[in-house]
């Protein structure tokens, strides 16, 4: 699948056409995304919070499941690039009236849109749309099922690089519900591709999918051992809405063994940063003292998300424009 994803996502010149998954992308392209985001990081601090790169372009946020945080950051990113934005909550629109996904796609294409940001409960939905969309349209995966959430992972990588520098010496621990997390899969692919020294998964056995070690990570079931001397501790939300059956005795017991407190965090490197893709479950994955403490960069992640999404949008639409200039 990685080779298919690569040819679907990247053109013959190595430019980003769609951003569907990190799996299969080259390290150089990921670095390019991070560097491009760096150039956009200060736009939000200007008096006029806009650059004209996507003026005249129309971007559609096509969300088949709700996510205020992700949709809002994509919308802000598009507007800061001077694009026009159309928000479609597809769960309450024509697709619930019997109109197929392809019919919806064709209707939006007829409105001369340039990009679809897709969020869907089914894994592979963004790939399906990218394969069937008109050649001039870029598709960005805003999260699909348990499969991938590439822009979230890249904003996490941007956060890590901003606070820790290069990846080669870093020990990173990802703590929590990996089985149901599309973010975790994307984070693992990104960290391994970018050359992190060590990537650890820390979770109860019931929340670790089989064969995870094949991705280049080590698996730990004891929190203190898993985060020992870690430079970065990334916490994941318990995806209760995706769990089937009793995978955990209770949220209280989960916090007792896997919730990160200041006392447990002492096992990590003294300069370790703490991250969380949000929304937080205080008292479940993380204690408020840690969430609001000096080592937390959780709120900064949100701001970095706008710069990363600006980078991905401008790169993808830019590749289509370049292909048109080159004659296809």
| Residue pLDDT, tens place only, 28-39 | 999 999 999 999
Q: Express each pLDDT in 133-161 by its tens digit.
A: 999 999 999 999 888 999 999 999 999 99
Q: Decide: 209 and 217 in contact? Cβ < 8 Å.
A: no
Distance CA 311, CA 38 (A): 9
Structure tokens at 228: 């020992």
User: Can you give the pLDDT at residue 279?
Assistant: 85
Return mean pLDDT, the chain: 89
Output 19 or 101, whichever has higher pLDDT: 19
Q: What residues are paired with 219 via a beta bridge?
A: 201
Can you tell me the distance from the alpha carbon of 249 to that of 254, in angstroms, rounded to the nearest whole number? 8
Total residues belonging to the chain: 328
| Number of C-beta neighbours around residue 222 at 10 A | 12
Pair of tokens at residue 143: 């999260």
- Could you report the per-residue pLDDT of 205-262, keeping only the tens digit for each? 989 999 999 999 999 999 999 999 999 999 998 865 444 444 565 788 889 999 999 9
Instruction: Please give the pLDDT value at position 246.
Output: 43
**Which domains are seen in the chain, by residue range?**
2-149+305-325 (3.40.50.1370), 150-302 (3.40.50.1370)
pLDDT of 261-305, one tens digit each?
Answer: 999 999 999 999 999 998 888 999 999 999 999 999 999 998 899
pLDDT for residue 283: 92
């Amino acid at each position: 699948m990685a080779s298919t994803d690569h040819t679907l996502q990247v053109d013959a010149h190595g430019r980003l056409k769609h951003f569907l998954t990190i799996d299969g992308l080259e390290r150089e392209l990921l670095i390019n995304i991070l560097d491009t985001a760096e150039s956009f990081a200060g736009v939000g601090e200007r008096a006029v919070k806009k650059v004209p790169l996507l003026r005249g372009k129309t971007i559609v946020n096509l969300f088949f499941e709700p996510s205020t945080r992700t949709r809002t950051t994509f919308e802000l990113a598009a507007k800061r690039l001077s694009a026009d934005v159309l928000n479609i909550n597809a769960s309450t629109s024509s697709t619930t009236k019997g109109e197929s996904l392809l019919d919806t796609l064709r209707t939006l294409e007829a409105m001369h849109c340039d990009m679809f940001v897709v969020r869907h409960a089914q894994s592979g939905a963004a790939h399906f749309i990218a394969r069937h969309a008109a050649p001039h349209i870029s598709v960005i995966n805003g999260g699909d099922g348990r499969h991938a959430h590439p822009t979230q992972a890249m904003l996490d990588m941007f956060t890590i690089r901003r606070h820790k520098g290069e990846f080669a010496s870093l020990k990173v621990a990802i703590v929590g519900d990996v089985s149901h997390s599309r973010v975790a899969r994307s984070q693992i692919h990104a960290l391994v591709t970018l050359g992190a020294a060590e990537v650890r998964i820390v979770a109860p056995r019931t929340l670790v999918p089989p064969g995870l070690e094949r991705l280049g990570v080590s698996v730990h079931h004891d929190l203190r051992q898993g985060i020992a001397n870690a430079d970065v501790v990334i916490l994941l939300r318990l995806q209760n809405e995706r769990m089937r059956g009793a995978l955990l005795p209770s949220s209280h017991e989960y916090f007792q063994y896997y919730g990160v407190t200041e006392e447990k965090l002492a096992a990590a490197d003294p300069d370790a940063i703490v991250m969380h893709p949000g929304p937080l479950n205080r008292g479940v994955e993380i204690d408020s003292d840690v969430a609001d403490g000096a080592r937390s960069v959780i709120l900064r992640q949100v701001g970095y998300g706008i710069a990363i999404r600006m980078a991905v949008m401008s790169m993808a639409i830019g590749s289509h424009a370049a292909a048109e200039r080159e004659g296809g």
